[in-house]
Amino acid sequence: MRKKNKRVILENLPVTDYAAEGRALAKADGKVIFISGAVPGDVADVLITKSKKDWAEGRVVQVKEFSKDRSVPFCQHFGTCGGCKWQMLPYAKQLQYKQQEAEQNLKRISKVALPEILPIIGGADTIHYRNKLEFTFSNKRYWIFPNSSEAGAFEEPENLTEFVNSKVSPSGGGGGLGFHVPRIFDKVLDIEECFLMGDVNNTIRNTVRSFALENNYSFYDIREHTGWLRNIIIRYCTTGELMVNICLNYDEESDRKKLFDHLLKEVPSITTLLYTINPKWNDSIYDLSPQIYHGKGFAMEELATGRDGERLQFKISPKSFFQTNTKQAEKLYSVTRDFAALTGNEIVYDLYCGTGSIGIFVSKLAKKIVGIEVIEEAIVDARENAALNDIGHAEFYAGDVIKICTDDFFAAHGRPDVIITDPPRAGMHEKLVNKLLEIAAPTIVYVSCNTATQARDIGLLGEKYSVEKVQPVDMFPHTHHIECVVLLKLK
């Protein structure tokens, strides 16, 4: 162990196991160390960022010996960019650790009897799998200087100014277009090539950046709230439809037309081009109105249900939520439908229904679908998507599930035979869990993007429900994120 500028660095620390959420494990001085940036089998120098009596957290500053399980990352931005943090692991190993994390969380946190957990369903495509990406403009570029050409061998300097160098042009012209770097909110890593989406994302991003630099357009400054260009949001659907939304701090019609006409000329495959004027300090566009410059203003996506060649259509507007991995969404929803075991006689309640994708996916096997979602715009989309697919037995309501699901509501719409719940990462509110216990539907299918909060909720539902099946699904290769579907039956 050595100390530099009051920082503690553990040298030559053997990394022994995988923990959770992308972190690895080591032991030192009787403490368990949770480490970011390492894989089991590495020997690394680790900077301690938090220290408690029995455990500590740290991050790798230099890998001294590489694990035999490592593979060479395929992206030039690996190690700096905040995405795809597991590129240094073969995909089979990623799936192994995700399976391990799902099992440990569900067993340790839920404290209920579990069946044998089914093997995780991996993705056929481990690159180019996302249908949505968002890139940020910044007049401050982030620079990194590796100390070795070997993958992963980055040494953190004593002085951060040696590590990060900003190019700022107060009058505009210059900066980066890419992703925010972890822990540095005001600088952007200039992305040349991103493998998360088909190559069209690189063409769009690099075309816009080159034209902006050539014409001295100003990039946004998040600290000063100045500059013109803010964000690019790209949706690339399996149908081939391509929607681009460029967010601007203020309108500059002449420059906007020049930029947009150039982009449409260089990328004629764009089916819809929009712009959103965002004068706010934050990047959220959900309270703003995107304007159509070219095309119909939305994109169409399809989901294959796996039933007699059936394909469902979904209209995706600029502010719509839709699963960002379409092919894996088909697998996730198929598992959900199979767990529900519908016979055509069931009333299905779809909680946190969003734009209605899960409810619509299972609808052909249900007597009735009742979708509930707190975001009103999503409910508008859900109703439109149901109509697009000629589904007349699906109803969607905006509001809080706890307030909506009253005796009067059940009298009007029927009590649920099956409840599908797909909450955000925070899981379900305890009041909703209590409401589900009160409703006592025979079947609950719980879809989650966070096995820790899912396990917590399952433990609470254990008062009346038993866990019958558990199926992890990998929606995001090269990341530590895990989806998991759990079937619960009333005891």
Matching residue, tokens 């039956």 = 489
Active-site annotation holder among 75, 81, 84, 449: 449
Residues 6+ apart with CB under 8 A from 253: none
Least Cα distance to 92 among 70, 74, 67, 115 occurs for 70
What gap in Å lies between CA 306 and CA 330, rounded to an integer? 8
What gap in Å lies between CA 76 and CA 195, rounded to an integer? 10
Output the CA–CA distances (angstroms, integers) from residue 329 to 135, 241, 332, 481, in the order listed.
23, 18, 5, 14
β-partners of residue 274 are 245, 292
Structure tokens at 379: 């409910």
Q: Which amino acid appears at position 165 of this protein? A: N
449 catalytic per annotation: yes
CB atoms within 10 A of CB 28: 15
- The gap from C-alpha 366 to its chain's centroid, in whole angstroms, comes to 29
For residues 236 and 200, the answer to whether their CB atoms sit within 8 Å is yes
333 exposed, middle or buried (CB, 10 Å; 0-12, 13-18, 19+)?
buried
Q: Which amino acid appears at position 425 of this protein? A: R
Give the β-pairing of 311-316 and 347-351. unpaired
Structure tokens at 223: 């600290």
Give the β-pairing of 229-236 and 132-138. antiparallel
What gap in Å lies between CA 489 and CA 353, rounded to an integer? 21
- The gap from C-alpha 221 to its chain's centroid, in whole angstroms, comes to 25
3-state secondary structure of 466: strand
- Residue 379 phi/psi, 5-degree rounding, is -65, -40
What gap in Å lies between CA 23 and CA 17, rounded to an integer? 9
Catalytic residues: 449
